[in-house]
Amino acid sequence: MGTVTYTLEAHVATIVLSNEGRFNAMSLAMWQQLAALLGELKNNAAVRAVVLRGDGDRAFVSGADISEFGEQRNSPASVVAYDRAVDEAQTALAGFPRPVIAAISGICYGGGLGLALACDLRYASKTAKFRMPAARLGLGYALKGVKRMVDVLGVANASELFYTARVCDAQDALKIGLVSSVQDDCFLHAAETAAQISANAPLTIAAAKLAFLTVLAGSSESDAEKVAQAVKTCFESQDYTEGRQAFAEKRPARFVGR
């Protein structure tokens, strides 16, 4: 069945996807748990950054748990319900209002790749392997997922990855921009990066994340106004005063998010 758990330490929430024996393949319950957890963390002001990882170092996520497809995707209605659960989890991840970092060790295939692409930053171990195997399985792939691939990789790289269903190693992934860097210890690097982010001004980070999401979605007048208001809030905040004072006094700023 698998589980989705998290810890919260020093403003960083670390989410662990675990399905022992199936290389952390995502069951229906796990998709649902992930969406619910992200909804909970979204409303927790103590969370300033999120790290998403698989349990252990053999796999980030090997994809959806195909072993339960006979039970969970055996009719048109159940297929719709399953796909909705996947979409809700990935949409919650992509739209999370603070930065999300994927720490990818080992296998990252199919639904795992979709989860990684929904994160803001991706760091891989040297053992990481990436694949979009939909074309080998006869699966259709939803527009949102394709758009995320294109947003991150560009049309040419996304097309090759999808059409060939080939396996990419960590260096291949780095070359096409799928990951930001390859690390000896991707978990440590992700944790350090999350800590660095969480030490910065939360309102500024949130405004930047909102702007990035707006750009990716295609800016409308109302969306642009929301970004402008978020920027205005930064300038009116105590943190802006604190940031200027800390800079003048040559000391680390102590940001509180208001």
pLDDT at 71: 63
Mean pLDDT by 10 residues, the chain (258 residues): 94 96 94 97 96 97 78 69 91 96 97 96 98 88 90 96 96 97 98 97 96 86 88 93 92 91
pLDDT at 11: 97
pLDDT at 142: 84
Give the Cα separation of 158 and 162 in Å (integer).
6
pLDDT at 64: 84
Strand partners, 181: 123
88 touches 69 (CB < 8 A): no
pLDDT at 223: 85
Find, among 200, 201, 179, the residue nearest to 190 by Cα: 179
pLDDT at 138: 85
Give the Cα separation of 14 and 96 in Å (integer).
14
Give the Cα separation of 15 and 38 in Å (integer).
9
At how many degrees (to 10) do helices 143-153 and 76-94 cross? 30
pLDDT at 82: 84
Give the amino acid at 125: S
The 3-state DSSP class for residue 92 equals helix
Burial 51-81 (b: 16+ CB within 10 A, else e): bbbbbebebbbbbbbeebeeebbeeeeeeee
Strands (E), 39-140: 49-54, 59-61, 100-104, 107-109, 121-125, 129-131
pLDDT at 47: 97
How far from each other are the two terminal CA atoms of the chain, in whole angstroms? 41
Find, among 209, 204, 203, 232, the residue nearest to 95 by Cα: 209
150: tokens are 């294109």
